[in-house]
Amino acid sequence: AQTVTQSQPEMSVQEAETVTLSCTYDTSESDYYLFWYKQPPSRQMILVIRQEAYKQQNATENRFSVNFQKAAKSFSLKISDSQLGDAAMYFCAYRAMNRDDKIIFGKGTRLHILP
Amino acid sequence: DAGITQSPRHKVTETGTPVTLRCHQTENHRYMYWYRQDPGHGLRLIHYSYGVKDTDKGEVSDGYSVSRSKTEDFLLTLESATSSQTSVYFCAISEGPGRSEQYFGPGTRLTVT
């Protein structure tokens, strides 16, 4: 069965600094998607970034980028120039490419931004 | 933002009463999902639907049923609510095969006393 593990329940970073959130996953599939979702205090789940496993190039979205290591089954999120609005719970998630049922979520990392 | 609404947004109910949560979408997406979110567990899939009248179970389906009579509506029913079903419930939608993203509704906080 596929699993997603986020080993850091909470992290803190100074405003304007860079922070990296870790995620590892386990799967026997070769084709899949990986995601980072952000959940601010409003509770809304917001897709931050997506990575297709067949792509070697790491995905980037403005200040957000990932380090995707397929062999190591590692998918970390780097947030550059951290802003107060980045404070949220971040979930790493996995979805097999040819399936349309669930996304498997990690348990989340709560990110605090220190002014 | 994807057009997904959930109703009610908050509900308090007593143990043993039936509860129905509604998810409504305006995107005409084929797939719809119900998740629950609990501290320390992330989000877990309850049921999902891959078309009108087509549904299947997720990993935590016991005590829940669903129905989908129209593309835009997906109902989650707790036949007899228990305190263990106190949670935040999220609906999500997806276009279907080959489309990876799921888009989430705003969530419903359910408290069973």
pLDDT over 70 at B98, yes or no: no
Of B62 and A98, the one with more pLDDT? B62
The answer to whether residue B6 neighbours chain A at the CB level (below 8 Å) is no
Instruction: Choose the closest CB to B107 out of A43, A95, A100.
Output: A43
Average model confidence (pLDDT) for chain A?
Answer: 93
The predicted pLDDT at position B73 comes to: 97
- CB–CB contact A105 B42 (8 Å): yes
Average pLDDT over residues B20-44: 93
Cβ neighbours of A107 in B, within 8 Å:
40-42
pLDDT over 90 at A100, yes or no: no
The answer to whether residue B59 neighbours chain A at the CB level (below 8 Å) is yes
The predicted pLDDT at position A61 comes to: 93
Cβ neighbours of A92 in B, within 8 Å:
none
Nearest C-alpha neighbor of B21 from the set B29, B30, B11, B69: B11
What's the rounded Cα separation, in Å, for the pair B49 and B81? Answer: 22
Q: Kindly report the number of other CB atoms within 10 A of residue A6's CB atom.
A: 19
Nearest C-alpha neighbor of B81 from the set B9, B34, B21, B6: B21
Total residues found in chain B within this entry: 113
Task: Label residue B52 by pLDDT band (50, 70, 90).
Answer: very high
Task: Label residue A101 by pLDDT band (50, 70, 90).
Answer: low
Residue B87: φ, ψ to 5°: -175, 175
Looking from the CA of B39 toward its CB, the CA atoms found within 13 Å total 1
